Amino acid sequence: MFKRVLGMFSNDLAIDLGTANTLVLVKGQGICINEPSVVAIQYDKHGQQRILAVGQEAKNMVGKTPGNIKAIRPMKDGVIADFEVTEMMIRYFIEKAHKRKGFFSPRIIICVPYGLTQVERRAVKDSAENAGARYVYLIEEPMAAAIGAGLPVKDPNGNLVVDIGGGTTEIGVTSLGGLVQSKSIRVAGDSIDQAIVDYLKKNFNLLIGDRIAEELKIEIGTAIPLEEELKTTVRGRDQIEGSLTSIEITSEHIREAIQNSLKEIVDALQSVLEQTPPELAGDIVENGIVLTGGGALIRGLDKYISDIVKLPVYIAEDPLLAVAKGTGIALDELDILQQTAYED
Ligand SMILES: Nc1ncnc2c1ncn2[C@@H]1O[C@H](COP(=O)(O)OP(=O)(O)OP(=O)(O)O)[C@@H](O)[C@H]1O
Ligand SMILES: [Mg+2]
């Protein structure tokens, strides 16, 4: 009873717990937190850990920390790599949303990477419950992405969404409020960044970190040839000389570096299309494919995919926000929730 009364005053939360970015949306108010999923931990003399920073502040420390501080991405490749730190991060973000708005035990829906194990799902739920949630629901990412992209997921009509995040690319075919087909591969933003690191090392003997690789991808990365190719200067360490050096890199280099990753994404998409029942495949031919997630922002990726699969490809509005928006809509619409969220 007490909980129910409290519930009347609470503002429910939707959380997109991404491997690269975590977004928190407050019911009726929109997105209030949008920060990298990074935690900086400091270790004292006795090996005790405490949180130094979370989110953007922590990401700025990646690769620059002294020995007793570690900047950790607790979720990697679509799995929880560090349970303890993931819990700290979830609590931190919930409390941050709480403090600012003064909530009492909210209901929380969390969008988790598709294919988490039972143990991982339990850990996410426990963290949110420990942070004061009254109920915790989980939703699968391809469904949240489809809802957030504005697709009519409840209709008896096949819709296909490809969410290219940091850790995973998730492909889902929705119909009648459920996922009819889905596939998740660990090729997405992070592995594309890694491909750029490897390429520069192999072809230019240049050593760079993940963050520089990500910046190169965003600044000059492209999936297709550009009318005017882009270029930039990269600083790094010469692998042979050991000295600091800088070289000029073009969008053609980055395209070459990332082509295998993009091909793997399209291969996964094609395998989902092949497995989709004919009626729904017919719908997809008509409706086309929608891209969400930060990876959708790679220049020309829509055209690249469309040329190979011979279907129309659209980029969702604000692809980086689609999953959070979809999770927020699921929170508003219990009928969607009942079909797609699962309680463990
Ligand atoms: N303009 C851009 N061009 C290319 N890639 C981008 C751009 N902006 C962001 N990204 C990439 O998008 C990725 C993050 O996307 P997103 O926030 O959707 O991932 P996530 O939801 O945290 O991860 P996941 O869904 O795998 O758990 C990062 O790899 C980032 O480098
Ligand atoms: Mg995501």
User: Which stretches of the chain are DSSP H helices?
Assistant: 2-9, 56-59, 83-101, 118-130, 141-148, 189-204, 210-220, 251-275, 278-287, 301-309, 322-332, 334-340
* 299 shares its domain with 276: yes
Q: Does the Cβ of 212 fall within 6 Å of ligand 1?
A: no
Show the tokens assigned to 177. Answer: 């409020």
Q: Identify which of 124, 138, 115, 113 has the alpha carbon closest to the alpha carbon of residue 341.
A: 138
Domain range for 331 is 2-34+83-141+323-340
| Cα-trace Rg, the chain | 21
Residue 15 Cα to ligand 2 midpoint, Å, equals 11
Q: Identify which of 84, 90, 86 has the alpha carbon closest to the alpha carbon of residue 75.
A: 86
- Which residue has 């990365």 as its token pair? 221
* 297 shares its domain with 168: yes
Q: Residue 90, SS3?
A: helix
* 111 shares its domain with 230: no
* 166 shares its domain with 286: yes
User: Which stretches of 149-250 are DSSP H helices?
Assistant: 189-204, 210-220
C-alpha distances (whole Å) from 189 to each of 15, 19, 112, 119, 288 are: 20, 10, 17, 25, 23
Q: Does the Cβ of 148 fall within 6 Å of ligand 1?
A: no
How much is the pLDDT for 5? 47
Residue 165 Cα to ligand 2 midpoint, Å, equals 5
pLDDT tens, N- to C-terminus, the chain (344 residues): 454 544 445 589 999 999 999 999 998 889 999 999 999 998 888 888 889 999 999 998 877 777 788 889 998 888 888 888 998 999 899 988 876 555 567 899 999 888 888 998 998 999 889 888 888 999 999 999 999 999 999 999 999 999 999 999 999 999 999 999 999 999 999 999 999 999 999 999 999 999 999 999 999 999 999 999 999 999 999 999 999 999 999 999 999 999 999 999 999 999 999 999 999 999 999 999 999 999 999 999 999 999 999 999 999 999 999 999 999 999 988 555 555 554 55
Bridge partners, residue 182, by sequence: 172
Show the tokens assigned to 156. Answer: 């008896």
Report the C-alpha gap between 187 and 164 in whole angstroms.
8
Closest residue by CA, ligand 1 atom 9? 294
In-domain check, residue 78: no
Q: Of 257, 275, 294, which one is at a domain's C-terminal end? A: 257
* 132 shares its domain with 250: no
* 193 shares its domain with 214: yes
Residue 190 near residue 181, CB atoms below 8 Å: no
Q: Does the Cβ of 21 fall within 6 Å of ligand 1?
A: yes
Q: Does the Cβ of 188 fall within 6 Å of ligand 1?
A: yes
In-domain check, residue 210: yes
Tell me the residues surrounding ligand 2 (ion) with CB < 5 Å: 18, 165, 323
- Which residue has 């959708």 as its token pair? 296
Residue 138 Cα to ligand 2 midpoint, Å, equals 14
Report the C-alpha gap between 22 and 324 in whole angstroms.
9
How much is the pLDDT for 6? 46
Looking at the structure of the chain, the number of domains it has is 4
Q: Does the Cβ of 166 fall within 6 Å of ligand 1?
A: yes
Show the tokens assigned to 336. Answer: 């969607």
Indicate which CATH number applies to the domain containing 208: 3.90.640.10
